[in-house]
Amino acid sequence: MELTDYIAILRRFWRSIVVILLTCVAVSIVSMFLLPRVYTAQVQVFLTVLTGNSGSDLASGSNYSQNQVDSFAKVATTPMVLTPVITKLGLETTPDMLARSISVTVPTGTAIMSISASSSSAQTASDIANAVGESLVAAVETLTPVGSDGKEIVRATVVAPATPPTDHSSPSERNTLFLGLLAGLVLGLGQAALRFLLDKRITSEDQVKDLTDVPIMGRLAVDDKLEDDGTARTTLSRASAEDYRRLRTNLAFVGSDNEGRGQAFVVTSALPGEGKTTISMNLAAVLATAGESVLLIDADLRRPRIAKYIGIEEKVGLTTVLVGRAKPADVLQRTQVQNLVVMASGAIPPNPSELLSSARMKQVIDSATRQFRYVIIDCAPLLPVTDSAILSRETDGALLVINANRTTSPQLEESLEAIDTANGQTVGIIVNRLRRDRRGSGSKYGYYYQYGYYEDAIGEKKRRKHSS
């Protein structure tokens, strides 16, 4: 993974990272109140070893003293020392269980033992520490050898009695918060990286370029004026209208083998709901407003929607022509947008693929390209059915719509393969619903284009009528 990948992870998953981080910190804060508080008291015991006055005696005595300190440090947690403590304090425990709450440390190079005792009560911790210190002094008197003068060679003395601690030793607020913060960062970043690696959705143009050499014909940003599911609406924002104008410009560079005829393009997608119908309608409208003659055909014979969105007759159309009940010119319906004509789908047939691959469909396309500069054909998605792949070989090619943050790389590859298998051509890819940088929201453009041509035209007619 490169630096750009890490930046992409943070940009895409920062919300989940923050949520997990805050959750872990909140859990750590709550745990500080729920976990039992433990108090630790400490007593210090000094061991003295009686030695001679010569240099050799002092040297050997120093080594012997250190060995004795280390040995008695281990004795401090044995039943010999702890059983009298339990009896004296009346504790309901065993020497082994009590030993778990006691720790003994010996600072390097010293003859001092620090004995710490922990308990849920500050006073109890202090009492246990002092009792262990006293019991250890008695154990040293019992275990130490006697010198030639009849006195013990090793003596133990409590030099710093334990006092009840004023604050608990655990849980530590600082350590708990640090662990919560660390766990939140690890879990948050970990889940983000895992999701990034497992996520096959296409979220950028660079991913498209890495997958295929098919050019990106258009880039359409998310438009707040469109439905969340990408279905057609009647109004485009100013910035989105500019995106369609760029798409129109790019489409003008696509050549045609048919001299003196118009061009026909199939607009399709990998799966439903990626915005192909919206793009078909708005692309046809923006081409028409540029003065080109445009025919919009609803060839999605499984889920036709153009007639419903525009508000035209939907019972007659393409299928009426394909079954031989009408001629193409008989089912064309004009719109309020000058130069734009629509052929609705007509009745939904039981055999869409057969009709679209028929000789009559070829005749419809041939006749349309003779009459119109552009023929935009909205067709069914590629992966569920073969309709679009069939039409892609009978036209100048397919415009494949992919929905950023929805279409996956395998779906894109499979869609392109479906068109290639049908001997069709993908002339370009349209990346739909890209996240637009708010700083470039299109405010620099001087005019406002709307796809709501019915609402605008009807409203203008009414205003003229009232003004006259």
Q: Is the pLDDT of residue 459 over 70?
A: no
Domain CATH code at residue 141:
3.30.70.1130
What is the predicted pLDDT for the residue at 229?
43
Tell me what the mean pLDDT of segment 289-312 comes to: 93
Same domain, 108 and 95: yes
Domain assignment present for 46: yes
Q: Is the pLDDT of residue 66 over 60?
A: yes
Same domain, 370 and 433: yes
Domain assignment present for 187: yes
Q: Is the pLDDT of residue 59 over 70?
A: no
Q: Out of 206-220, 240-254, 452-466, which region has the weakest mean confidence (pLDDT)?
A: 452-466
Same domain, 26 and 67: no
Handedness of CA 14, 17, 21, 27 (dihedral sign): positive
Domain assignment present for 284: yes
Q: Out of 75-79, 166-170, 188-192, 447-451, which region has the weakest mean confidence (pLDDT)?
A: 447-451
Tell me what the mean pLDDT of segment 310-324 comes to: 92
Domain assignment present for 464: no
pTM reported for the whole predicted model = 0.62
Same domain, 382 and 430: yes
Q: Out of 50-59, 232-241, 251-260, 424-433, which region has the weakest mean confidence (pLDDT)?
A: 50-59
Give the integer Cα–Cα distance in Å for 192 and 16: 8
Average pLDDT, the chain: 84
What is the predicted pLDDT for the residue at 228?
43
Tell me what the mean pLDDT of segment 373-398 comes to: 94
C-alpha of 27 from chain center = 22
Same domain, 340 and 218: yes
Q: Is the pLDDT of residue 445 over 60?
A: no
Same domain, 20 and 128: no
How large is the angle between the packed helices 3-34 and 173-198, nearest 10 degrees? 140
> How many domains, in total, are found in the chain?
3
Same domain, 401 and 306: yes
Tell me what the mean pLDDT of segment 421-426 comes to: 94
What is the predicted pLDDT for the residue at 450?
33
What is the predicted pLDDT for the residue at 292?
93
Domain CATH code at residue 403:
3.40.50.300
Same domain, 180 and 244: no
Q: Is the pLDDT of residue 437 over 60?
A: no
How confident is the model over 321-339, as pLDDT tens digits? 999 999 999 999 998 889 9
Domain assignment present for 428: yes
Same domain, 8 and 52: no
Same domain, 415 and 344: yes
Residue 34 or residue 368, greater confidence: 368
How confident is the model over 229-260, as pLDDT tens digits? 434 444 556 667 888 999 999 998 887 666 67
Cα–Cα distance list, 467 to 369, 454, 456, 460 (Å): 41, 20, 16, 11
Residues 6 or more apart whose CB falls under 8 angstroms from that of 403 comprise: 230, 269, 273, 274, 275, 432, 433
What is the predicted pLDDT for the residue at 64?
64
Q: Out of 152-161, 406-415, 451-460, which region has the weakest mean confidence (pLDDT)?
A: 451-460
What is the predicted pLDDT for the residue at 53?
46
Give the integer Cα–Cα distance in Å for 286 and 237: 13
Residue appearing with tokens 């334990």: 162
Amino acid in position 383:
L
How confident is the model over 89-108, as pLDDT tens digits? 999 999 999 999 999 998 88
Q: Out of 174-178, 207-211, 239-243, 346-350, which region has the weakest mean confidence (pLDDT)?
A: 239-243
Q: Is the pLDDT of residue 463 over 80?
A: no
Same domain, 230 and 145: no
Q: Is the pLDDT of residue 456 over 60?
A: no
Same domain, 243 and 375: yes
Domain assignment present for 463: no
Q: Is the pLDDT of residue 207 over 70?
A: yes
How confident is the model over 134-145, as pLDDT tens digits? 999 999 888 887
Handedness of CA 186, 189, 192, 196 (dihedral sign): negative
Strands ordered across the beta sheet of 102-105: 102-105, 112-119, 39-49, 154-160
Tell me what the mean pLDDT of segment 346-361 comes to: 93
Domain assignment present for 397: yes
Domain assignment present for 165: no
Residue 457 or residue 378, greater confidence: 378
**Does an H or E element contain 264, and which?**
strand 263-269
Q: Which structural domain range is residue 444 located in?
A: 205-458
Alpha helices in 199-224 (DSSP H): 205-211
